[in-house]
Amino acid sequence: MNPLDAIDRKIINVLQAGFPICQRPYAEAAAQFGIDEGELIRRLRRLLQDGALSRFGPMYHAEELGGALTLAAMEVAPSDFERVSKIVNGFPEVAHNYERAHVLNMWFVLATERPERIPVVIDEIEQASGCRVYNMPKQEEFFVGLRFVL
């Protein structure tokens, strides 16, 4: 991974708070950093490629768009974790998955266009993986506003 320079750090710090919505958002954002839009795009691509950023894009609130979200967990044998992870990640409804040091060692978020798709996708993952999926829908929502300042 390439070391982050002052502009990279500023890009990460500033764009976590939002991205312009306008005719030329990259140009407007780039102006904050004293670079042009092409340079901003090149830097974002490099940050993603190097793994400094895991994603760059909008965050949608599925429920406000008529969809649904749920947290799910599975107990996966350590020797089978990679195979099951590939299966789970192969579903477009899976936002991400991660390993935890717990009997339920694989956790992931499902986001569907319609609420009734949640149990269908869970069943499809169970059939494809051979592992039970534990659905853990939220009971209450909190806004944390998490930011990582570099």
| CA dist list (Å): 9 to 27, 56, 79, 149 | 18, 15, 38, 8
The catalytic residue among 96, 100, 102, 132 is 96
75: in domain: yes
Q: What is the pLDDT of residues 43-79, one digit of tens each?
A: 999 999 998 888 888 877 778 788 899 999 999 999 9
Q: How confident is the model at residue 138 (pLDDT cuts 50, 70, 90)?
A: confident
pLDDT tens track for 78-104: 999 999 999 999 999 997 789 999 999
Indicate whether 41 and 68 sit together in one domain: no
| Residue showing tokens 């490629």 | 49
Domain holding 102: CATH number? 3.30.70.3460
Name the residue among 28, 45, 46 with its Cα closest to residue 37. Answer: 28
Whether residue 145 is predicted with pLDDT greater than 90 in this model: the reply is: no
Which structural domain, as residue segments, surrounds residue 132?
A: 62-136
Tell me, yes or no, if 96 is annotated catalytic.
yes
pLDDT at 146 over 80: no
Q: Verify that 75 and 126 share a domain, yes or no.
A: yes
Q: How far is CA 87 from CA 64, 93, 95, 125, in A?
A: 28, 12, 13, 7
- Work out how many domains the chain is built from and give that number: 2
